[in-house]
Structure 1
Amino acid sequence: MTVDAGKTASPAATWTRRETLSSQVVRTIAERIKSGDYPRGSKLPTEKALIDELGVSRTVIREAIANLRASGLVSIHHGIGVFVRQDAGVTPFRLGDENLALVENLVKGLELRIGIESEAAALAAARRNQADLDAMAAACDAMDVAVRNASRDTQADFDFHCAVATASHNEHFFRIFNYLGETLMPRMRLSTHAVDDAALSVHLARVNEEHRAILRAIEVQDVEGARAAMRKHLGDSRDRMLERLRASHD
């Protein structure tokens, strides 16, 4: 987008004083990106062109560009210019707390985990190293302690799944599990609040048996076995959660 030759007043003349100049420049450029005036992948006008058009200082423009970069809207190619990111304006994936208040959305979250973690387990079976196996075994051992203590903490469970995702040696699996696990697992465990300690220990022992089945498949590099074991584990977790919730409402 180029500056219209006939412009006689800068946008700065009409900006509200309740915002800083840099935040108003950020808003102006972000709106132009959203509207397509600055298409994804395109180069922004030069620093001088923005200064002349918007009627602000070089410092304000540089601060605004830094904020736009931090927001994920632009990228800076030193010596070339500032470009609109290809993913600019794409809403990041998130699970809102309000959505997780619904049982059906917890189930959907588990279904999402099944799809992601089953493949992570398969990759882990193909790529794992000794450090990965040690981390998974340590999480299973910690889970044994949780069984004995009837612990309602999700840490050992989380650590096992995190170790599997790490063993995929694909950082995207780790990052998305880290998000999904921390978001969903504590809420799932809330459904055990009315279960007595003996019943909880039985439940945790069953979960850890499933973890060790996954670990065994990964250890012997059984790709299909690891995928199937993780799918069964998370599918059974979904079914157990629904069973506990139904029992609590009877």
Structure 2
Amino acid sequence: MVTINRGRQRLAQQVIDQLRLQIETGKLREGDQLPTEPQLEAAFGVSRTVVREAIADLRAAGFVQPVQGKGVFVADPKTKTGLSLTPIEVKSIPETLELLEFRMAAEGEAAAIAAYRRTAEQEAAIRAANRKMANLIEAGLPTVEADYEFHMAIAAATNNRFYVDVLRHFGPRAIPRGQFPTLPEANDRAYLEKVHAEHGEILSAIADQDPDRARQAMRAHMMASQRRYRMLAEQQ
């Protein structure tokens, strides 16, 4: 399972890099429709999950835009430029990447420890936080606090106060999208559902008491965020 998660991250990055290169070199121009999911799966030799992850990241970075009932299209370059951040947000990018790097190490291990130490009540708290986020996504309401609660519940399930203290020190600002309110992805349902699905993989591993899978699921979650914010940095 660990190998699958790592492999999926690498494959998603390869799809992102190749599609982005086609867009930036003009092979795919503004308004062009991307191939369908099955066509992309065949072209890149990857699964539908990998394709959807890559498209979600390209969408969050402003390179593509889905049109309901029609497909996914290359975004207007002016629209992508319009995603430029405020000066405060731009200054936040390096710190955000550093924080994600730190969290990958700390929370990856926290998830592993929680997988074999969590009590039934603690597992229920993680599950409740995950369900709360799903309900907020469905209602179109802000999810940063619920996202933070999910990660805090995992820290608490380590039964090691230092994991809790570290995450509490950062507070909800540990959730990157809370620091970038001008980004469409902060309230984009498809993006938030992807984040929620990543949480679901972490929860599943903890519930199954599988430390290795829990560690890798958390690391994959953080790596996906790193990838998105690196792309964002390159656009500034």
Q: CA RMSD in A?
A: 2.5
**In the aligned structure 1, how far is the partner of 2:89 from the partner of 2:198?**
28
How far apart are 1:190 and its partner, in Å?
Answer: 3.4
Report runs of 4+ in structure 1 exceeding 6 Å deviation.
none
Q: Which residue, out of 170, 192, 204, partners 1:180?
A: 170
* Map of 2:41 onto structure 1: none
1:134–1:170 distance in 2 versus 1, CA, 3 Å: same
TM-score (norm 2): 0.57
Query: Which residue identity does 1:177 align to in structure 2?
Result: L
* Map of 1:89 onto structure 2: none
Gaps of 5+ in 1: 1-97
Query: Which residue identity does 1:113 align to in structure 2?
Result: R
* Map of 1:136 onto structure 2: 126
Q: Alignment length, in residue pairs?
A: 149
SS of the equivalent of 2:141 reads coil
Q: Which moved more, 1:146-155 or 1:169-178?
A: 146-155
**In the aligned structure 1, how far is the partner of 2:206 from the partner of 2:90?**
31
* Map of 1:116 onto structure 2: 106
Query: Which residue identity does 2:174 align to in structure 1?
Result: L
TM-score (norm 1): 0.54
* Map of 1:158 onto structure 2: 148
Q: Any conservation in 2 of the 1:113–1:234 contact (CA below 8 Å)?
A: yes
1:193 partnered with 2:182: yes
* Map of 2:225 onto structure 1: 237
Query: Which residue identity does 1:208 align to in structure 2?
Result: H
1:170–1:99 distance in 2 versus 1, CA, 3 Å: farther
Q: Any conservation in 2 of the 1:210–1:233 contact (CA below 8 Å)?
A: yes
1:153–1:218 distance in 2 versus 1, CA, 3 Å: closer
**In the aligned structure 2, how far is the partner of 1:213 from the partner of 1:124?**
14
Q: Any conservation in 2 of the 1:99–1:105 contact (CA below 8 Å)?
A: no
Query: Which residue identity does 2:184 align to in structure 1?
Result: V
How far apart are 1:131 and its partner, in Å?
Answer: 0.7
Q: Which has the larger radius of gyration?
A: 1
How far apart are 1:100 and its partner, in Å?
Answer: 9.1
**In the aligned structure 1, how far is the partner of 2:89 from the partner of 2:185?**
28
Within 5 Å, give how 1:90-101 maps onto structure 2: 101=91
**In the aligned structure 1, how far is the partner of 2:198 from the partner of 2:166?**
22
How far apart are 1:151 and its partner, in Å?
Answer: 2.8
Q: Which moved more, 1:216-225 or 1:238-247?
A: 238-247
Gaps of 5+ in 2: 1-87
1:176–1:195 distance in 2 versus 1, CA, 3 Å: same
- Percent identity over paired residues: 29
**In the aligned structure 1, how far is the partner of 2:101 from the partner of 2:230?**
13
User: Residue by residue, what CA displacement relative to the aligned partner does 1:177-207 show, whole Å, maximum 9, x if unpaired?
Assistant: 111243432x53232534178x711111011
